[in-house]
Amino acid sequence: MSTQEAIFEKVKRALAMTRERTAYPVYDSADFVSKPHTTGGTVEEIFRKNFAAVKGVIVSDAEELRAVLAGHGVKKGCCDAALTVMLQGLGVEWETSFDRARLDEYDLGATIASGAIAETGSLILRDRATPDRLAALAPWVHVAVLRRADIVLTLPEALARLGDDPYTLFVTGPSKTADVEGILIEGVHGPGVQIAWLVD
């Protein structure tokens, strides 16, 4: 008998004496939505508020983005090929393929977000929509281009749309740690700055 079969058998035997198995509870996913985080405006307004609360930065046009990037001293970036036209004129030298041997040369990674969750202030990144996981992860600044129509209000809605992409990420603000004396430090292994560029 393989280990798998042996464990299945042990589990079966362990449960054999259970006279009444606990039923799956009837519940409404809406009960697990935080009201204070999902009320008081349109989906976009709520997203803006909650994204800012997790230290995300929202920009609405190239000029705004240019100013934010300049503030972080961004010079070199790596972007998805589909974004090259849109990202011209920002004062950034772009590459469209991420060279991991020169990982630390990139100040910025720009990707296309598959969506966002207003309730939690999270961006949704998928494997099929972004060509390189590292480009959205290794540089200090990450810009996600996000279509307004792709923002969902609640976490249950986002979970219902997970689909079959092999790797989906909900990224919520900068990478962070509080391991040293509980003091919050941003930018541990991932970006220290998360920017969402809202487009129609």
Partner 1 sequence: MNKVPCFGQPVDKFVATVSDEVYHSVHSASAIKSDKRRELLARDFPDPRRLREIAGQIKRHTLDSLDKYLPLAVASLERNGAKVHFAADGDEARRVIHQILQERGARKIVKSKSMVTEEIHLNDYLAERGIEAIETDLGEFIVQIDGDQPSHIVTPIVHKNRRQIAESFERHGLGAYNDDPETITRRARKFMRDKYLAADAGITGANFVVAETGRLVLVTNEGNSRFSLAAPRLHIALVGIEKIVPADRDLAVFLNLLVRSATGQQFTAYTEFITGPRADGQRSGPSETHVVFLDNGRSEILATEYRDILRCIRCGACLNICPVYRQASGHAYRSVYPGPIGAVLSPLLAGGDFARLADLPKACSVCGACGGDACPVCIPLSDLLLRLRDKAKREHASLSARGVPPMGGFAELAARPVLWRGALSAGRALNYFPLDLAPVPPLSRWTAARTLPEFRGGEFRRWWKKRHHE
Distance CA 76, CA 156 (A): 37
Residue 150: CB minimum distance to partner 1, A:
17
Distance CA 84, CA 186 (A): 29
Residues numbered 41-80 forming contacts with partner 1, rule: CB under 8 A: 54
Is 64 or 165 the residue whose CB approaches partner 1 more closely? Answer: 165
Q: Which of 10, 67, 81, 93 binds partner 1 (CB under 8 A)?
A: 10
Distance of alpha carbon 184 from the chain centroid: 20
Region from 74-82, 106-114, 145-153, 185-193 binding partner 1, contact rule CB under 8 A: 185-193
Distance CA 174, CA 38 (A): 21
For residue 194, which phi and psi values (nearest 5 degrees)? -110, 125
Region from 7-15, 40-48, 68-76, 107-115 binding partner 1, contact rule CB under 8 A: 7-15
Residues numbered 125-164 forming contacts with partner 1, rule: CB under 8 A: 127-128, 130-134, 137-138, 155-156, 159-160, 162, 164
Residue 158: CB minimum distance to partner 1, A:
9
Q: Is 1 in the site for partner 1 (CB under 8 A)?
A: no
Cβ neighbours for 186, distance < 8 A, ≥ 6 positions apart: 55, 173, 174, 175, 176, 192
